[in-house]
Structure 1
Amino acid sequence: MSSVSEHADLIGSGVAGLAARVRDGGLSSRQLVSACLEAAAQDELNTHITLAEDAVKRAEELDRHLAERGPVGPLHGVPISVKDNYTTSGIRTTGGMGVLRDWTPDTDAAVVQRLTDAGAVVVGKTNMHEYSFGITSDNPHFGPVRNPHDPTRSAGGSSGGSGAAVAARIVPAAMGTDTGGSVRIPASVCGAVGLKPTRDRLPLEGVLRVSFGFDVAGPITRDVTDAALLMHALTGGETVDPDALPADPAALRGVRIGIPVGDYWADNHPEVERLHREAAQRFADAGADLREVTVEHAEIGSETGFLIATPEAVALVAELFRERGLGSIEQQLDGIGPDVAALLLSQLGPDAAPVPAHEYLAAMSETVPAIRRGYLTALSDVDVLLTPTTPSPAIPLAQTGLMEHNGRQVDPFPTFVRYTFGISVIGLPAISVPAGITSDGLPVGVQLVGTNHAESTLLRLARAFELTAG
């Protein structure tokens, strides 16, 4: 590939377009994979931690297979990156942690295996927030991921490298994980599509877990068609075929769109508020029926998520360290970044204030069901909910500790997961799609939320919304 712009143009045809070109013989997998590896190696956004040394060899094998026996699957020969918390056989896996920088697993995570079974070529492991517990991807060990639209700003997180690599057209698609918004947030602030499937829709074997109940695997892609293609391949055809997606915004006629109202949904950056209103109007102009809804208990979704996920994350880190022969958390604290160390110390040691067992159990048995009832009641008279994905566009890397928001300084973590964490807590599917660009040139996404296993509905409506942009 002779230039960065030519590579971006190539990747701009997306997963579906690239897969078709490889199948038709217009482009070899070797050419495509080599171009992505070159772009990732020259990347100034710091999107990858490790590149796959054997990716070209795998691509050559797929080219021979295509010539002799045809395509392996729908992703034949297409390069894809995966977040560095998926184990990958023969490729270093760090989870964004310095203490794991020398670990090379000998097995693939289940999702990685499904990708390769479908013909994809894993070209690298994307940078991320340390241990997935944060939303800035300002990694103290491997450096910050920078936003493609403004390299002085965060790419979001925790799957920041995946979001930035796709938005910058370094790779056509990437996998992330989402515990409280970690696929949707980087997709939103980088200008990509991020799908959080229903809990348990995709397998999590081989993922470095943050939570026992909130983690999901999900794709980040340049458009909705590519998200549908990846989900169709990863679920074995259980979700909508990308060829069956709408070809016209008229598919939105009569669709009932719920717009949550109330103070909880109002504390947005002015540009986020503007673009959310404009997105709602685009739905209405295409014939959708907009309905205001109240979501009971939405305001406690994030705090409940933190109450549950914090002790779970500490337990899972301790288990990971034992499995890797690293000893106890206390023995490794000096090698852990300050924000994740603070999380761990909140539950361990002489100055800890651990979550009491009775509060954890009450949250699981009473609060989570109440939040779920609130969302499902709101969804009972509409097809999907439409919310901002995040209350703010991408923040400066200088503000990853404390950010400016509507005239005050706030913690970025609870601020950015405001509209995403509650959805994770109750396990519903959601998709973030680009809504537009701020006056400062920063992308903003909106989130569609559906009922359990409504990924196909979300993909259809998101694609129709995408088409309203012309």
Structure 2
Amino acid sequence: MTQSDIWRLSATELSQRTIAGDLTAEAAVTASLTRMAAVNPDLNAVVEDLSSDALDRAQQLDKARAGGAPCGPLHGVPVTIKINVDQAGHATSNGVSALKDLIAPDDAPVVKNLQDAGAVVIGRTNTPEFSFRADTDNPLHGRTHNPWGRHISPGGSSGGAGAAVMAGIGALAHGNDIGGSLRFPAAANGAVTVKPGLGRVPAWNPSQSAERGILAQSMSVQGLITRSARDLHLSMPSLIAPDPRDPFHVPMPWRGDIPDGPIRVAFSKETYGYDLHPEVDAALDDARAALLDAGYHVEEVTLPDVFDAGRTGYRALMGEVYALMKGDVDAAGSQTVRDIFEVYFQEFPPFAGVELLQMMAKRTQYARDWSLFMQRYPLVLTPFLPQPFFRPDRDTEGAAGVHEVLGCAVYSYAMNFLGLPAASVPSRLAELPSGPQPINVQIAAPRWREDMAVDACIAIEDRIGRMCDPLWQRMSDTSG
């Protein structure tokens, strides 16, 4: 492999070479920075370039290794951090112009954990205003584009992260997810992710002046977006390292016991009244076939009511958002995001008062139903969205736009309300009239068993292939 191709390596391949001494951290980081300089001007995925700091850190890692210091599992692996999470000395703007000078006094736990493992932060990635859209654009940094083409939104709110990692800017991309913000970008860009379950990854921003609402705390999680499913097994054990600043983090090991016999997978194409697009239907069949070939027992069954759990959960979240966040959106948000929030409140009428408390309490009933169901079916394979990914700014097009973007995404935010892990993996590349588009499916797992969902993603990826390979060919062909 030539120096110019190092950026193509997965995080797993890269760490193996840097730890063995076959590749320096400086060479690994330099390759990613060169790639970023080449493709980011068109994508606008990374909105704060940290090249100088990254090279300094890579050189320090190389000196430490040469001096006999042990290497972390992510030694020299280039990563990006989303701009809504604290990184000491940098603005946690959250895509909001009024917060452009909110400089973090210290690193958030995820940033510390990644760097403690040897990772090198090369840049900070874009997010929509308040990190509360499934598309990525804001007045402060502008629009992020999807490397597959401008006919597809890059997703959100970790849209910069998804576009960056799939374009080859860094081997790992940090993101977070309160209703789908890791999985939307993974689906949009053909990447892989696992939304961790409640309490799995320590979270806190030292710059914050008040605690978040209780639903935001219990539905929002930190995670990583990758090009290869195996990179999640490499990187997530570092991300989940304990941090005392999150008092509700649960220090469980990454790997759990392997069940005896074939693992049962509940399979459903139910879309609760929304039309299932033929390409999504085919992607589900492809994923099922891959799991069957890998030895899983896949059975089409009726699931506990995802629609009721998802809609109830998001209406409850909107109730909390309306009470605690609407004032900030009105005061500091653009007209675009204020208009979108008004339609959110129409699509998901906020619960309030006693009813909000009752619906928050009902969360336990839904979670219990799923816990019992997963005694028999520890994995659940479903659509992520019933349709191929939407076009940019679709959520600015009134009620119909928000309904297509979020209204139909019940498989997404239901998992946040339930607190369950949910992975997203591409299983098909669709050639649509608008252009090529990856199609991802979702795999949910029991609490604390993100590793089982990732294993299933690996089984699918091994049989279908990584989506970055055809993407890079197309990017090369386009650039001439």
TM-score between both structures, scaled by the size of structure 1: 0.85
Displacement of 1:267 in angstroms is 2.6
Match of 2:231 in 1: 226
Is 1:239 the counterpart of 2:234? The answer is: no
Q: Map 1:25-104 to 2 at 5 A.
A: 25-42=21-38, 43=40, 44-52=42-50, 53-104=52-103
Displacement of 1:163 in angstroms is 0.8
Q: Tell me if the contact between 1:276 and 1:388 (Cα under 8 Å) persists in the aligned partners.
A: yes
Q: Secondary structure at the match of 2:411?
A: coil
Match of 1:424 in 2: 416
Deviation string for 1:180-221 (max 9, x for gaps)? 111011111201111111111001111876812200001111
2:297 aligns with one of 279, 289, 292: 289
Q: Tell me if the contact between 2:114 and 2:238 (Cα under 8 Å) persists in the aligned partners.
A: yes
Q: Secondary structure at the match of 1:81?
A: strand
1:434 aligns with one of 417, 426, 441: 426
Q: Which one is further off, 123-132 or 203-212?
A: 203-212
Match of 1:396 in 2: 391
- Aligned AA for 2:145? R
Displacement of 1:107 in angstroms is 0.3
Is 1:15 the counterpart of 2:16? The answer is: no
Deviation string for 1:322-355 (max 9, x for gaps)? xxxxxx738834x5352246538989xxxxx864
Displacement of 1:86 in angstroms is 0.9
Q: Tell me if the contact between 1:185 and 1:416 (Cα under 8 Å) persists in the aligned partners.
A: no
Is 1:156 the counterpart of 2:171? The answer is: no
Displacement of 1:402 in angstroms is 3.5
Provide the C-alpha distance between the structure 2 equivalents of 1:78 and 1:316, rounded to a whole number of angstroms. 38
Displacement of 1:79 in angstroms is 1.1
| Alignment CA distance shift 1:293-1:340 (3 Å) | farther
Q: Which one is further off, 177-186 or 375-384?
A: 375-384
| Alignment CA distance shift 1:386-1:58 (3 Å) | same
1:336 aligns with one of 327, 334, 337: 334
Provide the C-alpha distance between the structure 2 equivalents of 1:282 and 1:23, rounded to a whole number of angstroms. 33
Equivalent residue pairs, number: 440
Provide the C-alpha distance between the structure 2 equivalents of 1:265 and 1:69, rounded to a whole number of angstroms. 61
- Aligned AA for 2:413? F
Match of 2:262 in 1: 254
Deviation string for 1:103-129 (max 9, x for gaps)? 221200011101111111111111112
Q: Tell me if the contact between 1:390 and 1:419 (Cα under 8 Å) persists in the aligned partners.
A: yes
Q: Tell me if the contact between 1:346 and 1:354 (Cα under 8 Å) persists in the aligned partners.
A: no
- Aligned AA for 1:282? A
1:469 aligns with one of 464, 469, 475: 464
Displacement of 1:263 in angstroms is 5.0
Q: Tell me if the contact between 1:85 and 1:94 (Cα under 8 Å) persists in the aligned partners.
A: yes
Deviation string for 1:40-59 (max 9, x for gaps)? 34411111121224222111
Q: Tell me if the contact between 2:135 and 2:393 (Cα under 8 Å) persists in the aligned partners.
A: no
Q: Tell me if the contact between 1:127 and 1:162 (Cα under 8 Å) persists in the aligned partners.
A: yes
Provide the C-alpha distance between the structure 2 equivalents of 1:54 and 1:263, rounded to a whole number of angstroms. 47
- Aligned AA for 1:160? G
Match of 2:355 in 1: 359
Match of 1:381 in 2: 376
Deviation string for 1:394-438 (max 9, x for gaps)? 32225342499xxx8663432463211001101001111111101
Displacement of 1:67 in angstroms is 0.8
Identity of aligned residues (%): 32
Which sections of structure 1, spanning at least 5 residues, go unmatched? Answer: 246-250, 319-327, 348-352
Q: Tell me if the contact between 2:265 and 2:381 (Cα under 8 Å) persists in the aligned partners.
A: yes
Q: Tell me if the contact between 1:298 and 1:375 (Cα under 8 Å) persists in the aligned partners.
A: no
List 4+ stretches of structure 1 deviating above 4 A: 207-210, 314-318, 344-347
Q: Tell me if the contact between 1:259 and 1:293 (Cα under 8 Å) persists in the aligned partners.
A: yes
Q: Tell me if the contact between 1:403 and 1:412 (Cα under 8 Å) persists in the aligned partners.
A: no
- Aligned AA for 2:307? E
Displacement of 1:29 in angstroms is 1.7
Provide the C-alpha distance between the structure 2 equivalents of 1:35 and 1:304, rounded to a whole number of angstroms. 46
Match of 2:193 in 1: 194
- Aligned AA for 2:227? R
Q: Tell me if the contact between 2:283 and 2:427 (Cα under 8 Å) persists in the aligned partners.
A: yes
| Alignment CA distance shift 1:195-1:91 (3 Å) | same
Provide the C-alpha distance between the structure 2 equivalents of 1:259 and 1:276, rounded to a whole number of angstroms. 9
- Aligned AA for 2:414? G
Alignment RMSD: 3.0
2:306 aligns with one of 277, 298, 302: 298
Q: Secondary structure at the match of 2:47?
A: strand
Q: Secondary structure at the match of 1:420?
A: helix
Provide the C-alpha distance between the structure 2 equivalents of 1:190 and 1:83, rounded to a whole number of angstroms. 16
Match of 2:470 in 1: none
TM-score between both structures, scaled by the size of structure 2: 0.83
Match of 2:248 in 1: none
1:411 aligns with one of 403, 413, 426: 403
Q: Tell me if the contact between 2:45 and 2:125 (Cα under 8 Å) persists in the aligned partners.
A: yes
Q: Tell me if the contact between 2:28 and 2:78 (Cα under 8 Å) persists in the aligned partners.
A: yes
| Alignment CA distance shift 1:469-1:342 (3 Å) | closer
